[in-house]
Amino acid sequence: MTEVVATNETILVVGGGISGMTAALEAAETGKQVVLVEKRPYLGGRVSQLYKYFPKLCFPTCGLEINQRRAKMNPNLRVLTMAEVMDIKGEKGSYTASVKLSPRYVNENCTACGDCEKAVETEFDDEYNYGLGKRKGAYLPYRMAHPQRYVLDPNIVETDDGKKAKDACKYDAIDLDMSEETIDFPCGAVIWATGWRPYDAAKIQPYSYDRIANVITSVEFERMADPSGPTGGKLVRPSDGKEARKVAFIQCAGSRDRNYLLHCSRICCMASLKQCTYVSDAYGEDADISVYYIDIRAIDRFEDFYQKVKGIEQVKFIKSKPAAVVADKDGNPVVHGVDTEGYKRFEDTHDLVVLAIGMEPSVDKDDFPVDIQINREGFIEAAPENGGVFAAGCASDALDVNRAAQHATGAALRAIQAVTGAAGVEG
């Protein structure tokens, strides 16, 4: 049975992405007890799936590493992975959280040597790579995963592969008898940092995501650009593996549209501008990049980055929300639309189309285990009715990492105030 030491002064953080980690660490470093609950087998959230960060084009791993080190060193922080909050009862200053822990089938003896992975055979879609590649049934979710501990896919536990994995482990780290458990513990405040997920691109029917292999989403493109990703960092066409030199970015795919998501996802203009540099870095003068947009929203100091990308000769900007993407007989995606500057029709053939997919809240409106104010876009509103529950990062709005971390720091302060108040009442 997993033990969690907690009191009414404990802060519960739900979601271990960059926002949840930031909030948890800020609070823990002031001396508060913090329990961080993360659904995935590792911390870092969606940031761990990015290749580079705009605007500096540095690697997210470096920031994540610092946070991971802070987490390891802090005795006030308890991290639960593969964990989900099922219910939160009570009120500000005295909640009881009920958390479900899914079995990992691998205990802390694991040294991440990888022998189990070599021993097993069955492969599954790799969720870390948004299904672009495969992973084995015994796997390390990604190279830098924290905790550095393998995971067994529940589907292999009762198969031959399960036994093979167990036999291959020299450290007795594989425990096929682990089972799901639910634990209850008290807390005085909750920081809700469950982040975002990419909007389902197949719903945008005119863009043919579910019908044309060479139409992909921006999150998949991030994985493709990563040298440790499914294509080894090569920007290629999923249909035939050929180089993708002529690339189209379609902005607002799902966002700012009453048929899909009402809001502007805010970061996708910057994400596409960043991804333009991936293509021009890979193919230099042979790159041919088109960005189809309604308007480019590179806010505040990001304007500099926009100007920089505008300066790349191989990048064209076309002011138009395309009407449709269709495949020609060779499987090339053809983008159709009318250009707002001149009202000319176009029919442009590309190697690859990247949909700058919108960000939606990762938790559906009706699935919150606690009473909370949700706005019409599905994000958490800051409201007194929320009591001791505070949103952090993309659970509150579509934000970039910098703004998400700032927001998370604010949430940490509010949570600290809430539990400090609770202590005052008790003492």
Partner 1 sequence: MTANQAMIENYRNSFLKEVEANVEEGEWVKMCMQCGVCSGSCPLGKFWDHPPQEIFMMIRAGKRDQVLGSDSMWMCTSCYNCIVRCPRELPITHIMHGLAHYAKRLGLVPANQPTAKFAQKFWDNLMAKGRVNELKLGLSLYFMNGFGEGVKVAMKNQKLGMNMMKAKRMNPMEIMGGHAVQDLSGFQKAIKKAAELEDARIAQPGG
Ligand X SMILES: Cc1cc2nc3c(=O)[nH]c(=O)nc-3n(C[C@H](O)[C@H](O)[C@H](O)COP(=O)(O)OP(=O)(O)OC[C@H]3O[C@@H](n4cnc5c(N)ncnc54)[C@H](O)[C@@H]3O)c2cc1C
Q: Which residues bind ligand SF4 (CB under 6 A)?
A: 251-252, 255-256, 264-266, 268-269, 294, 297, 356
CB of 266 to ligand X, least distance (A): 9
Stretch that binds partner 1, among 166-174, 212-220, 252-260, 356-364 (CB under 8 A): 252-260
Q: Tell me, letter by letter, the H, E, C secondary structure of 46-109.
A: HHHHCCCECCCCECHHHHHHHHHHHHHHCCCEEEECCEEEEEEEEECCEEEEEEEECCCCECCC
Residues forming beta bridges with residue 181, ordered by sequence position: 101
Q: By CB under 6 A, is residue 352 in contact with ligand X? A: no
Amino acid in position 298: A
Two tokens at 68? 């991971």
Beta carbon nearer to ligand X, 246 or 403: 403
258 near partner 1 (CB under 8 A): yes
CB of 273 to ligand X, least distance (A): 10
How far apart, in whole angstroms, are the C-alpha atoms of residue 237 and residue 254? Answer: 23
Q: Name which of 282, 292, 298 is nearest 324 in CA terms.
A: 292
Do residues 36 and 192 make contact, with C-beta atoms less than 8 angstroms apart? no
Q: Which residues 357-416 are close enough to bind ligand X by CB under 6 A? A: 359, 362-363, 393-394, 399-402, 404
The least distance separating ligand SF4 from the CB of residue 221, rounded to whole angstroms, comes to 14
Decide if residue 355 touches partner 1 (CB under 8 A).
no
- Minimum distance of partner 1 from residue 217's CB (angstroms): 18
Instruction: Outline where DSSP puts E strands in 134-180.
Output: 134-136, 138-139, 151-152
Greatest distance between any 2 Cα atoms in the chain: 75
Binding mask 11-40 for ligand X (x = CB under 6 A): ---xxxxxxx----------------xxxx
Specify the DSSP element, H or E, that contains 309.
helix 302-310
* CB of 100 or CB of 256, closer to ligand SF4: 256
Binding site for ligand X (CB under 6 A): 14-20, 37-40, 45-47, 50, 53-54, 84-85, 193-196, 218-219, 222, 267, 271, 274, 359, 362-363, 393-394, 399-402, 404
